[in-house]
Amino acid sequence: MLLYLALPVMLIIASILSYWYSTSLNQAVIQAKLNLSQTADTIAAKVNEETQLAVRTTEIMALAQQNGLFGDREASINFVRAVLKMNPSFVGASFGYEPNADNQDQAYINAPPLKEGVYVDQTGRFLPYWHRDFNDSERLLLEPLVDMESSLYYEGVRQQFLRDGNTETMITEPYVYEGRMLVEQSSPIIINGEFVGMASVDRALADITDFLQTIKQQLKIDVLLLSQRNNVIATTLTNSELTTKAIAETQYANLIEQLESQGQARRVIADNDPLDSHVYYFDKAEVNTGHWSVIVRRSETDIIGPIQAQFSPLLAAAFASVLLVFLLFWYFINQATKRINIAIKSVEQLANGDLSIHVQKYMTQKDELGTMFRSFERLIKASKDIDQVCSAIAAGDFSQTVSKRSPYDSLSDSINLMSSKRHEAEQALLEQTIELRRTQQELVEAEKMSSLGSLVSGVAHEVNTPLGVCVTATSHLREMLIETKNKVASGTLSKTEFSEFISEVDLSCDILLKNMQRAADLISSFKRVAVDQTTEELRNLYVSSYFNEVLKSLYHTLKATPVDITISATELEPEVYSDPGALAQIFTNLVMNSIIHGFQNGSKKGQINVHIEYSDSVCIHYQDSGQGMTDEVQKKVFDPFYTTNRAGGGSGLGMNIVYNLVVHRLKGQIAVKQKESTGVYFFIQFPVTPPN
C-alpha cells in the first residue's frame, strides 16, 4: 500500500526537477554556443588584422625594390632595419636577391661586415636578414639568409611565380629557423617580368601563442590556430607538442574533419576531447588573409556547472524523500526477500550439482513460499536418487534402478533403459575384446612360426652344400684307397704313387674337416637361434655377436640379394642380460622388412648398417639406404595389420611384433624417422639388465 502511495509522489517530484533542469541546461548551452561562435569570429578578426599588417608590409617592401630601391644595397639594408624597428610584432625582416641579380655579387665577395653583422653570403649574394636578439628584443642583429634553394620563404615564392606567374604574397607553413618557430610572409620582387628576389617579414609563433593565452585567461576558452594546410601555428592547449604539426597527424584529426565537413552551415559541435576525454564545445572561424582558421573550445563543465550548483540542493531534497519511501518499502519486503534469496541460492546449488541442500526449516510456513520450499525438497530428494543410481551405473553396478515418481516421469524410464543397454554393450564389448586378443595372439604365433619355418628351410639348404662336398670327397677318397690297395696286392705300387696317394688323402681329409666344421657351425647357430625364438628365457650375450649368428641363419635368404649388411659396436662391448629370442625376432623382422620394402624384394643394391652403443642402456641404431617411407607409412608403421605389400602376402604384423617385443618384452622404446637422404632409421633403446 505504501508503495502505491509513494510512487506518484516520486514521479511528480522527478518530473518537475527534470523539466526545470533540462530547460535551464538547454538555455545555458544555446547561449554558450552563441558566445563561443562570437568569440571565434573576434579572434579570427584579430588574427586577420595582424596577418594583413604583415602582408601589406612585405608588399610595400617589394614595391620599394621594384620602384628604384633594387640594387641599392646600403639603402635596402637600412630600409629592412627600419621596417623591423617600427613593427614590434615582427621578429625578423629580410630581402633576398637572386644570384648576381643586381650584377654586384663579385664586388661584395670580400665586403667588410657592418657592426651589426654580415648581409651577403660567400659569393657576395645580397641576403640581408635583420632579426631580434633572443635575450633582448630591442637589439637588432644582421646576418645573411640561409637554405635559400630549399626554403619555403624564398624557393616557395620563386616557384609560385615561375610556375603560373603568381605575384601574391605567400604565407608559409610554420617552421623552425635557427631555433625559433616562425611563420613568414614573403612577396616576390618582379622587375621587367622577371623574378629577381623576395621581401619577407617573420612572426614568432611564441608571440601568437602569448596573444591566444591572453584570450584564454580572459574568456576561459582554448584556441587552436591552423594554417592553410591545417598545420598548427599556435595553441593554448597544454600539449605543446602540437605546434607545427599537421592536425591530421594528431588525435584531433577526426574532430577537425567534422568541423570542416559542415561547409557554409556552421554549427557548434559537442564531443569528447581526445586528450583528456572530457566533453567540450567546439567551433571554427576562418581567417580571410592567409586562409588560416581558428578552432575554439570550451568545457561543458564551465557551461553547465552553474546549473548543476543550483540543482544540487533540490536534488538532495528529492533524494531524501525518495530514500524515506524506499526505506519503508524495504522494511516490509525484507523478510520475503530473504526467503526468496535462500530459494534462489538453493536452486543455483542444485543446478551446479550440489545436493547438500537443507530447506526443511523453511517448509513450515503456511504461505506460497512455504509451498514452494516443500516442492523444492521433493525435487532435491529425486535428484539424490537419480545421482545415486547414475553413480552405481558408472561404477559398473547395474542392479539399481530409479523409482517412477508419476505416470509422466519419463526421466526414470530413460535412465533405467540406459542402464540396461549399457550393461548389454559392456558384455558384448568384453567378449569381442577377448576374441580379438586371442585372434591377434594366434596371428603373432603364426608369424613367428612362419619366420622359424623360413629359418629351417634356409639352414637346411645351407647345410646341404658342405655335406655334398663331404660326400664327394669321401667317394673320391674311397676310389683312391681301392686303387692303391689293388696296387699293393699286385706289388706294382711305386714310391711316387704312394706319395701321391698320401697327398690326396691329406687333401680330402682337410676338405672333410672344413666342410663338416661349416655344417656344425650352421647347425649350432640354427640351434641357438631356433631355441631362443621358441623360449623366453634370459641369458648373457653380446648383442653384436648374437646379431651375426642370426645373420648366418639368414644367409640363404640374403646371399641372392646385392644388399651389404654391416654390424658394429663400441669398443669393449659389455655382456647384456637380455632376451635373445626377442632380439633375434627384432633383428630378423627389421632386416626382412628392409629387403622386401626398402630394396624391392632384394632386387636393388643397398646397404644396411647396424651400430650398437652402450651407456646406462643398450642403444641400437638401424639404418638402411632403401627407398624409405612416406609420411603416412611412417605414422602407421607399428599399427597391427598395416602393410603396403598386401598383394605380396604381407600380414602387417612384422613391425607390430617388433614394437611389442621392444616395449613389452625388453621394456624399452623404439622410434622411426625419415632421414634427409634415402632410407629409414630406427632407434631402439632398452635396459642392459631388465627391471624386476
DSSP alpha helix (H) spans, 535-639: 543-553, 555-558, 580-593, 631-636
Confidence of residue 456 (pLDDT cuts 50, 70, 90): low
- pLDDT confidence of residue 427: 79
User: 58 and 167, same structural domain?
Assistant: yes
Confidence of residue 192 (pLDDT cuts 50, 70, 90): very high
Q: In this structure, are strands 680-687 and 617-624 parallel, antiparallel, or unpaired?
A: antiparallel
User: 197 and 63, same structural domain?
Assistant: yes
The more confidently predicted of residues 68 and 350 is 68
Give the number of domains in the chain: 5
C-alpha–C-alpha distance, residues 293 and 308, integer Å: 33
DSSP alpha helix (H) spans, 352-409: 368-394
Range among 64-73, 406-415, 488-497, 543-552 rated most confident: 64-73
663 is a domain residue: yes
Confidence of residue 452 (pLDDT cuts 50, 70, 90): low
- pLDDT confidence of residue 26: 81
Which residue in 582, 578, 598, 595 sits closest to 657, CA to CA? 582
- Is residue 527 predicted with pLDDT exceeding 50? yes
User: 119 and 177, same structural domain?
Assistant: yes
113 is a domain residue: yes
* Residues of the chain above pLDDT 70, percent: 84
In this structure, of 111-120, 455-464, 572-581, the range with the lowest mean pLDDT score is: 455-464
319 is a domain residue: no
The more confidently predicted of residues 106 and 318 is 106
Q: How many Cα atoms sit within 13 Å of 681 on the Cβ side? A: 10
Amino acid letter, 122:
Q
Confidence of residue 459 (pLDDT cuts 50, 70, 90): low
Looking at 202, 217, 251, which one is the last position of a domain?
202
Angstrom distances, CA of residue 146 to CA of 70, 120, 128, 134: 20, 10, 10, 18
User: 385 and 434, same structural domain?
Assistant: no
When pLDDT is averaged across residues 373-388 and rounded to a whole number, the result is: 73
Q: How far apart are the first and last CA of the chain?
A: 85
User: How many of the other CB atoms lie within 10 Å of CB of 346?
Assistant: 20
Q: Are 669 and 656 in contact (CB under 8 A)?
A: no
Q: How many Cα atoms sit within 13 Å of 63 on the Cβ side? A: 8
Range among 7-16, 42-51, 445-454, 552-561 rated most confident: 42-51
- pLDDT confidence of residue 173: 80
User: 447 and 431, same structural domain?
Assistant: yes
Q: Are 140 and 116 in contact (CB under 8 A)?
A: yes
User: 600 and 510, same structural domain?
Assistant: no
- Is residue 454 predicted with pLDDT exceeding 60? no
pLDDT in tens, 209-258: 787 888 888 878 888 888 878 888 788 887 657 777 788 788 788 878 87
Confidence of residue 85 (pLDDT cuts 50, 70, 90): very high
Confidence of residue 130 (pLDDT cuts 50, 70, 90): very high
Confidence of residue 414 (pLDDT cuts 50, 70, 90): confident
16 is a domain residue: no
Confidence of residue 671 (pLDDT cuts 50, 70, 90): very high
When pLDDT is averaged across residues 184-201 and rounded to a whole number, the result is: 94
- Is residue 458 predicted with pLDDT exceeding 70? no
Looking at 140, 173, 202, which one is the last position of a domain?
202
Residue 85, burial from CB neighbour count under 10 angstroms (0-12, 13-18, 19+): middle
User: Of all helices (H) and strands (E), which one includes residue 623?
Assistant: strand 617-624
- Residue 670 sits in a domain whose CATH number is 3.30.565.10
User: 371 and 430, same structural domain?
Assistant: no
User: 164 and 137, same structural domain?
Assistant: yes
User: 650 and 562, same structural domain?
Assistant: yes
User: 578 and 603, same structural domain?
Assistant: yes
pLDDT in tens, 613-633: 998 899 999 999 888 888 888
Mean pLDDT of the chain: 80
333 is a domain residue: no
User: 593 and 463, same structural domain?
Assistant: no
- Residue 108 sits in a domain whose CATH number is 3.30.450.20
- pLDDT confidence of residue 442: 64
685 is a domain residue: yes
317 is a domain residue: no
Q: Supply the range of the domain harboring residue 270.
A: 208-302
Confidence of residue 463 (pLDDT cuts 50, 70, 90): low
- pLDDT confidence of residue 601: 84
- pLDDT confidence of residue 674: 66
pLDDT in tens, 466-520: 777 777 878 877 888 888 888 888 888 888 878 887 887 888 787 778 777 766 6
User: 588 and 479, same structural domain?
Assistant: no
C-alpha–C-alpha distance, residues 245 and 375, integer Å: 73
- pLDDT confidence of residue 1: 46
278 is a domain residue: yes
Confidence of residue 2 (pLDDT cuts 50, 70, 90): very low
Which residue in 372, 370, 329, 377 sits closest to 350, CA to CA? 377
Three-state SS letters, 646-680: CCCCCCCCHHHHHHHHHHHHCCCEEEEEECCCCCE
Looking at 286, 302, 318, which one is the last position of a domain?
302
